[in-house]
Amino acid sequence: MTPSTWLVACLFFAVAFLYSSVGFGGASSYLAVMSLFSYPPEVASTIALTLNVLVAGVAFVNYYRNNHLKWHLLWPFLLTSIPAAFVGGTLKVSASIYQVLLNVILLYVAARLFFLTEIQLPAAQERLRPSWGLTLSAGIAIGLLSGIVGVGGGIFLSPLIVLAGWGNVKQASASSAAFIVLNSLSGLAGRLWRGSLNFGELGLVFVLVGLIGGMLGSSLGARRLRHQSLQRVLGIILLLVVARNVWSALA
């Protein structure tokens, strides 16, 4: 393994640790890391989706064991997101479109990390029930985007649940973790159907490293690990990645 490969592995561990602690898989940041080192989109999205399944899966188990899952905050979104993620995974998009979608997602995630504490609602606040129209529409949009780019979509679902007043942060994390796992599996199935499931030479090594980080992070996160400073650092890193990608495209 080269020094750059070791660096990628260390970054994967850190990303998995941080994201799994709040019920996410971390696909957007895995994609950012691999974008910095010029990994092909098919390899990057395959590795990111696979890690999403494993890291978010471990996070879901930890949150479920601590009784944070509310099924009504999960299954309505899955009705449309799973088939939409499969369709997204079968689509072949150009490198330019892929980069635009990726950078938009990274910008959103960076903002999400900066303002994570501001959108958390009191745990005792009375919760509302999500409407069918909104959940089905949101599922389609998130699923398609997840399948095309190679993310699980939890980073979009979690703030939606909290901001709409449907659940508290830990309930949103539990729902997002399960949402990420199932949508990522659907996206991987779409890639397998298209014949573009590609891990590259060391993809499975990165997956193993990320899984270890996810196991450690989620076990702490289920007991409310506080790490707002780390979240902001990660947000800055994502902004730098976007700036680098935009600069390369313009150059």
Q: Which residue is it, tokens 């990111």? A: 48
Quick one: what percent of the chain has pLDDT higher than 70? 84
CA 211 – CA 178 distance, rounded (Å):
16
Give the pLDDT score at 127: 54
Are the CB atoms for 99 and 249 separated by under 8 Å?
yes
Phi-psi region of 38 (alpha: psi -120 to 50; beta: other; left: phi over 0): left
CA 119 – CA 99 distance, rounded (Å):
28
Are the CB atoms for 86 and 190 separated by under 8 Å?
yes
- Per-residue pLDDT tens over the stretch 22-74: 667 778 788 888 888 888 888 888 898 898 888 888 888 888 888 888 888 88
- Per-residue pLDDT tens over the stretch 162-197: 777 787 777 887 888 888 888 889 888 888 888 888
Question: What DSSP designation does 166 have?
Answer: S
Q: Which residues contact 40 (CB under 8 A, 6 or more apart)?
A: 198, 200
Are the CB atoms for 146 and 154 separated by under 8 Å?
no
Of 3, 51, 58, 1, nearest to 31 by C-alpha is 51
The pTM of the whole model exceeds 0.85: no
Give the pLDDT score at 121: 47
| Residues 121-135 as b or e (16 or more Cβ within 10 Å = b) | beeeeebeebeeeeb
Give the pair of three-digit tokens for residue 102: 């990726």
Dihedral of CA atoms 148, 154, 156, 157 in degrees, nearest 10, equals 120
Find the mean pLDDT for residues 225-242: 63
Band of residue 9 on the pLDDT scale cut at 50, 70, 90: very high
| Residues 220-232 as b or e (16 or more Cβ within 10 Å = b) | ebbeeeebeeebb
The SS3 assignment for 246 reads: helix
Find the mean pLDDT for residues 200-213: 89
CA 11 – CA 25 distance, rounded (Å):
14
Higher local confidence (pLDDT), 123 or 199: 199
